[in-house]
Amino acid sequence: MSSIAEVLAQAQELLYLEAHHLDQKQWTEWVEMYTQDAIFWMPSWINETETTSHPETELNLLYLNGRSHLEDRVYRLQTEDSFASVPSARTVHLVSNIRLIEAHDEHTVLKATWIVHSYGLHGPLTRAGFYDYTLKRVDGALRIAYKKVTLIDDKLIGAVDIFHV
């Protein structure tokens, strides 16, 4: 059993590595960080204070249920046939305020906050929000089993892809 400090350090390193892969557009390395049954969820806003909370009956900005759906997004980016993705924006992810919510042998629950600064067709843009993660150990390696992105912005400017948040 690792100490809390070790668990937190490993989780933090994983979040930073994910940010690195996204900012470097290392899509294949990025998607391999996820478990096969991973969920990547970005709810939409119902009003000024509430986001959607029931993906099966409410509208989400993204609800990618299974790594294969994350692979769809990677496939589309790699075709270079997407009007919105060529030329692609440069991004920097800042991940901060990482808090360990639950630590178990096989999985870890975390909260964090993020700011992504991008530069592209619309010039400089900054978006921000919250992350909720569940990390799982699969064959000894720590993987992302669940990632919920709460994007605080609305009236979105430009396309918002998996690497803008």
Per CB under 8 A, residues contacting another protein are 42-48, 51-52, 55-63, 65, 68-69, 71-73, 75-76, 79, 81-84, 121-122, 154-161
Q: How many residues does the chain have?
A: 165
Closest approach, Cβ 150 to another protein, in A, equals: 13
Which residue's CB is nearer to another protein, number 24 or number 68? Answer: 68
Q: Which two tokens stand for residue 139?
A: 């064959």
Contact between residue 116 and residue 109 where contact means Cβ atoms under 8 Å apart: no
Closest approach, Cβ 91 to another protein, in A, equals: 15
Closest approach, Cβ 36 to another protein, in A, equals: 11
Q: Which two tokens stand for residue 64?
A: 């990618």
Which residue's CB is nearer to another protein, number 42 or number 142? Answer: 42
Q: Which two tokens stand for residue 115?
A: 């700011």
Contact between residue 133 and residue 45 where contact means Cβ atoms under 8 Å apart: no
Which residue's CB is nearer to another protein, number 40 or number 103? Answer: 40
Contact between residue 153 and residue 128 where contact means Cβ atoms under 8 Å apart: yes
Closest approach, Cβ 163 to another protein, in A, equals: 12
Measure the N-to-C terminal CA separation of the chain; round to a whole number of Å. 33
Which residue's CB is nearer to another protein, number 33 or number 70? Answer: 70
